[in-house]
Amino acid sequence: MPPGKKVNYPVACPVYRAQRIIAGKWKICLLCLMNSGTKRFSDLYRNMSGITQAMLTKQLRELEEDGMISRYVYPEVPPKVEYSLTELGRSFIPIIQELSRWGSCHLPAADDEVVMPCCNLKKE
């Protein structure tokens, strides 16, 4: 290997920035669910088994901070909050589909295999 530049701790690299955004345990899942349209908190909660409300809130906040989703609060009682993908969020869906395709082609499937909703859209 030529002298070249050392690869620094890769946090600042674009690939790693991208990876970090979807690193959360439920992030991809959420993006996939929202890909089919705007969703209420309760919609998401009811359709993800295993997640707690606290965790769901946290993951949603993080996705929002990263600009992947937007949050709209209706001024009502009881509260109503809707989440939807932003442009940025939508632009990431194809990569999720790539990952899914790669995973399906190259790796052994488990018995309890479940395919993310959005990944069934463009399965060639």
Partner DNA sequence: CAGCATCCCAGAGGATACTG
Partner DNA sequence: CAGTATCCTCTGGGATGCTG
**Minimum gap (Å) between residue 67 Cβ and its own copies:** 8
Contact assessment for residue 117 and residue 32, using Cβ atoms and an 8 Å cutoff = yes
Residue ranges binding DNA (CB under 7 A):
9, 23-26, 40-42, 45, 50-55, 57, 59-61, 71, 73, 78-81
Stretch (H or E) spanning 4: none
Residue with smaller CB distance to DNA, 40 or 101: 40
With binding defined as CB under 8 A, does residue 39 bind its own copies?
yes
* 78 scored as a contact of its own copies (CB under 8 A): no
Toward its own copies, which CB reaches closer, 49 or 75? 49
Q: Are strands 69-74 and 80-85 parallel, antiparallel or unpaired?
A: antiparallel
Q: What are phi and psi of 73, to 5 degrees?
A: -100, 120
Contact assessment for residue 44 and residue 56, using Cβ atoms and an 8 Å cutoff:
yes
Distance CA(41)–CA(45), nearest Å, equals 6
Partner from its own copies, DNA, none binding residue 39, C-beta < 5-8 Å depending on class: its own copies
The candidate with the shortest Cα–Cα distance to 96, out of 114, 113, 81, 117, is 117
Q: Specify the stretch interacting with its own copies by CB under 8 A; choose among 54-62, 70-78, 104-112.
A: 104-112
22, 60, 63, 69: which one contacts its own copies (CB under 8 A)?
A: 22
